[in-house]
Structure 1
Amino acid sequence: MPASPAAEPQTPDFPFRIAFDEAVAVVDAVASERRLQPQTVSLSRAHGHILARDVVATLAQPPFDNSAMDGFAFRHADLATDGSPTRLLLSGEQFAGPDAALKVEAGTCVRITTGAPLPDGADTVVMKENTTLDGDIVVVRIAPKPGQHVRRAGEDSAVGDVLLRAGGMLTPARIGLAASQGLAQLDVVRRPTVAVFATGDELVEPGMSLAPGQIYNSNRDQLMALLRAEGLEPVAFPTLPDDAAQVTSALRHAGEAFDLVLTCGGVSAGEKDLLPELLQRRGRVRMWKVMMKPGMPLLLAEGGTLGPALFLCLPGNPVSVLATWLALGRRLVDGLQGRQPRPLRRARLASTWTKKHERLEFLRGRWWIDDDGVSWVEPNPADGSHRMQAAADSDALIVLAAGPRDYASGTPVDVLPY
């Protein structure tokens, strides 16, 4: 039977019209239930992935005592005690690379380069710039401290240290750390496969001509860009018309082939909002409608007979797509990969703001840090969920707590940069 528009349920058997914190808990629970499996990738392909297992050191770093400078290695006890220049006999050279197995005797030194193994008997390195060379005699003009310019074995990490924690995103520095352990591959969590749909008879693809009553489909390209920014490779499907049979067929196809199906529009309770009824009938709705602004009609469901995918249905207004993705959609994708929580950012409001409604709000704003290191955010007054110019002029969502309130300039708030 084809889907028909859904009226709001009178006694829903799923969370309905819930507070934002409740929605976060639902998203986290669903993501935990659907955690994706690990896969092994080479270091060259690991950037941006989420680590699946801890990386434990099997090699001390540095693996041996070595020089932090180009200069001369010697025994600190051989320095003149009265502060006068010390003359040492140059007995050999140790460059970075194979250990030459040299030994520093009393009154001698060895030429050494950065990263070279410290010769046996030496405990200090003097910088080349603080010496002069007189034939085979090195004159130490400025005496270093005991042990200066020596990197000790294991001072960065010891065998058994946990170097990287599961759930962390692999940054270039973390990949370099793994490489320093001799690892050529890492176990990461598989990234989710994502299908993207926009719905609505009014939508026309960019580059085509508009007829009266039509608008360009901005949601799909915006959402695709947001997903790619997270390292995902989403697949965009053709725009879905407001036709129950076509919507059902397309979503069933995607639900069998992808981990996550994202839709934009058709998720409220209007005459052509087909998704709520379809997912209540064919799937398992985990929540519908969140007390947030913008983005209240958001729906999360398991596909059921539409397939094993999760369905995250976002509202149709473009700013609502941005806000619901950043606030809840991204959290779902993070949770599917077991990613550690992203740190919250804080800033002070740069101007006053009056909030008149009950819902938690994600206001658009411009975020910066001043010359004194203080974080600020300037709210954009164009706060309608259709006002994409304001979203484009901004670079952060300002989180305003549930309930009416007058915010004074300087009030600390949470921000979600984008």
Structure 2
Amino acid sequence: MRKRVVRACVRRASPSLCLRCIGSVPSPRPGTHPRRLRCASMVRPGAGTQRSTRSRSISMAQARRSIISTTRPDSASMSARMTSPEYPTRIGLEQALEIVAASAAQHRLPEESVVLGDARGRVLGMDVRAPHPLPPFANSAMDGFALRGADLPVEGERIFGLAGDVFAGASSSPSVGAGQCVRITTGAPIPPGADTVVIKENVSVFGNGVVVRAGAKPGANVRAAGEDYAVGDLALAAGTPLGAAQLAVLAAFGIERVAVRRRPRIAVIATGNELVPAGQPLGFGQIHESNAVMLAALARESGADVVAQRCVRDDPDALRAALLEGAADADVIITSGGVSAGEADHLPRVLSGIGDIRFHKVRLKPGMPTLFGQIGACLCFGLPGNPVASAVTFRVFVHFALRAMLGVTTVHEPDHARLDEPLHKRHARAEFARCSLRTDGDGVRWATLHAKQGSGMLRGLAETDALALLPEGEKEYQRGDVVTLWPG
């Protein structure tokens, strides 16, 4: 019998695992096409990941891994196939994240060039090294007078002759000789012969004479050329998210365009016969659709472009068509609902017919029915239909996958808080509990878990400050116990 191999991390589950467990994985086998679907005619060429895109590790050090094998049932035994799926099920959070990490690393997004003004929030696609020193020349850190440090008085005071002025942006500067000084402004180049700046508040000026009192130090108030970056220094590493500070560094080097990872393209599909678009009246048993709106917003907050957002009835054919259409345009499909074991939950069966399922069901609360798979080169996340479970599993799995696809290398240490009240965790699954945060007068952060943790309660989701991770296993938590706050 053949065995299907899935990589899994053996380390203890923790939020920091998410960004440290992604390692390099093999490229697709020669002769295979990353977009080869069972219904290939419905997929436009070029959608999704370029075959030439190579995966890279974003971890600081290679994580230890174990190999988990699950036996594939004999194809002759149909009943065994139905009762024993060919993919992991009811797995732990750590193993689920490892499977997502391995798949996402194989789908690293290609680079594109954008002008610097459009690069905010993007992820740097390649290393940037300093093309010239920064600052490019020695300059003054203060307004004052540039002179030779060797001429400074050891005691008392000394009169220096004023040889001229130099201001920021000047194209030339007078030289400084023995016993001379030059008036200088912040940022102006240090004149030839000078190596020290005495601030203007510490001198007296009369005519062409400047009185400098003892106490100034040679070399003071001078920024050396290359003090910030020397030529060839690594200024920004590939995988760095570009914010205001990073854009300032690139601008200081005179970089006009920068290579960034293309934004992930996301298709959002909400399923359910009961869903009604906003603006339409509700009939019996109907609710206004909110999950697709929420998931699309979360995707945009994660740096993605939403290329499709739609609702589909609980119909296998309609769902199949929507998935194939999404796979043609998107890098990632996110569905909501239809993923559990009910009569109208068609996603597992439909997805297994047109793609592959990597896992189904995670020992997680909320989010037990979560499904992860792939249609060609398009990753597919089947999230639960309850809004809280949908939002939580997006943050835990989808946001994590998008960071890996973008090649993000920054690792934020997880935050922690102390429980404000005792808690008896009565189930074995890992749990993400919604909580409110406060900081007391001593600077200690406290987490108050919401009294109502129902996965269908939007109010609790809207009032949540953070998700507190409660690891697997029943446990009695005491007031003051430290819990981890999930990043993102």
1:22 pairs with 2:91: no
User: Among residues 372, 382, 398, which one is paired with 1:329 in the alignment?
Assistant: 398
The secondary structure found in structure 2 opposite 1:122 is coil
What's the offset of the Cα at 1:279?
0.8
Alignment-derived partner of residue 309 in structure 1: 378
User: How far apart in 2 are the matches of 1:377 and 1:142?
Assistant: 57
Segments of 5+ residues of structure 2 without an aligned counterpart are: 1-79
User: Among residues 408, 411, 416, which one is paired with 2:478 in the alignment?
Assistant: 408
Q: 2:383, 2:390 within 8 Å by CA — same for their partners in 1? A: yes
Q: 2:307, 2:330 within 8 Å by CA — same for their partners in 1? A: no
1:58 pairs with 2:127: no
1:70 pairs with 2:146: no
Amino acid at match of 1:403: G
Q: 1:126, 1:143 within 8 Å by CA — same for their partners in 2? A: no
Alignment-derived partner of residue 333 in structure 2: 261
Going from structure 1 to structure 2, the CA distance change for 1:368 and 1:55 (only over 3 Å counts) comes to farther
What's the offset of the Cα at 1:103?
1.6
Describe how 1:267-278 pairs up with structure 2 within 5 A. 267-278=339-350
Alignment-derived partner of residue 389 in structure 2: 320
What's the offset of the Cα at 1:371?
4.4
User: Among residues 345, 361, 385, which one is paired with 2:455 in the alignment?
Assistant: 385
| Greater displacement, 337-346 / 396-405 | 337-346
User: How far apart in 2 are the matches of 1:8 and 1:89?
Assistant: 95
Cα deviations by residue, 1:288-329 (Å, 9 ceiling, x for unpaired): 11111101111111114xxx4221111000000111011111
The secondary structure found in structure 1 opposite 2:102 is helix
| Greater displacement, 140-149 / 199-208 | 140-149
Alignment-derived partner of residue 4 in structure 1: none
The secondary structure found in structure 2 opposite 1:73 is strand
Q: 1:131, 1:142 within 8 Å by CA — same for their partners in 2? A: no
Amino acid at match of 1:328: F
Describe how 1:60-209 pairs up with structure 2 within 5 A. 60-82=133-155, 84-141=156-213, 143-209=215-281
Alignment-derived partner of residue 367 in structure 1: 437
What's the offset of the Cα at 1:351?
2.2
What's the offset of the Cα at 1:141?
4.2
Cα deviations by residue, 1:383-412 (Å, 9 ceiling, x for unpaired): 111122111111111111111111112222
What's the offset of the Cα at 1:142?
6.5
User: How far apart in 2 are the matches of 1:19 and 1:216?
Assistant: 33
Q: 2:307, 2:329 within 8 Å by CA — same for their partners in 1? A: no
User: Among residues 468, 475, 483, which one is paired with 1:398 in the alignment?
Assistant: 468
- What fraction of aligned residue pairs are identical, expressed as a percent? 43
Going from structure 1 to structure 2, the CA distance change for 1:9 and 1:316 (only over 3 Å counts) comes to farther
Describe how 1:230-249 pairs up with structure 2 within 5 A. 230-249=302-321
The secondary structure found in structure 2 opposite 1:312 is strand
What's the offset of the Cα at 1:379?
1.2
Amino acid at match of 2:101: D
User: Among residues 2, 5, 11, which one is paired with 2:84 in the alignment?
Assistant: 11
Tell me the TM-score normalised to structure 1 length.
0.94
Going from structure 1 to structure 2, the CA distance change for 1:45 and 1:299 (only over 3 Å counts) comes to same
Alignment-derived partner of residue 113 in structure 2: 40
Q: 1:23, 1:287 within 8 Å by CA — same for their partners in 2? A: yes
User: How far apart in 1 are the matches of 2:174 and 2:479?
Assistant: 67
Cα deviations by residue, 1:52-73 (Å, 9 ceiling, x for unpaired): 1111112111111100011111
User: How far apart in 2 are the matches of 1:383 and 1:232?
Assistant: 29
User: How far apart in 2 are the matches of 1:192 and 1:365?
Assistant: 30
Q: 1:363, 1:399 within 8 Å by CA — same for their partners in 2? A: yes
Q: 2:296, 2:309 within 8 Å by CA — same for their partners in 1? A: no
Going from structure 1 to structure 2, the CA distance change for 1:352 and 1:236 (only over 3 Å counts) comes to farther
Q: 1:38, 1:190 within 8 Å by CA — same for their partners in 2? A: yes
Amino acid at match of 1:277: R
The secondary structure found in structure 2 opposite 1:105 is coil
User: How far apart in 1 are the matches of 2:307 and 2:178?
Assistant: 71
| Greater displacement, 96-105 / 311-320 | 96-105
Going from structure 1 to structure 2, the CA distance change for 1:172 and 1:341 (only over 3 Å counts) comes to closer
Q: 2:308, 2:326 within 8 Å by CA — same for their partners in 1? A: no
The secondary structure found in structure 2 opposite 1:322 is helix
Cα deviations by residue, 1:119-139 (Å, 9 ceiling, x for unpaired): 122111111222221011112
The secondary structure found in structure 2 opposite 1:277 is helix
User: How far apart in 1 are the matches of 2:475 and 2:390?
Assistant: 25
What's the offset of the Cα at 1:77?
2.1
What's the offset of the Cα at 1:16?
1.2
Equivalent residue pairs, number: 408
Alignment-derived partner of residue 280 in structure 1: 352
User: How far apart in 1 are the matches of 2:459 and 2:254?
Assistant: 49
Q: 1:167, 1:340 within 8 Å by CA — same for their partners in 2? A: yes
User: How far apart in 2 are the matches of 1:289 and 1:395?
Assistant: 26
Q: 1:259, 1:309 within 8 Å by CA — same for their partners in 2? A: yes
Cα deviations by residue, 1:322-358 (Å, 9 ceiling, x for unpaired): 1101111100111111112541222222222221111
Segments of 5+ residues of structure 1 without an aligned counterpart are: 1-6
Q: 1:201, 1:241 within 8 Å by CA — same for their partners in 2? A: yes
What's the offset of the Cα at 1:156?
1.0
The secondary structure found in structure 2 opposite 1:177 is helix
Cα deviations by residue, 1:54-106 (Å, 9 ceiling, x for unpaired): 11112111111100011111112222222x23221110111111441422111
Question: Pairwise CA RMSD of aligned residues?
Answer: 1.7
Going from structure 1 to structure 2, the CA distance change for 1:156 and 1:368 (only over 3 Å counts) comes to farther
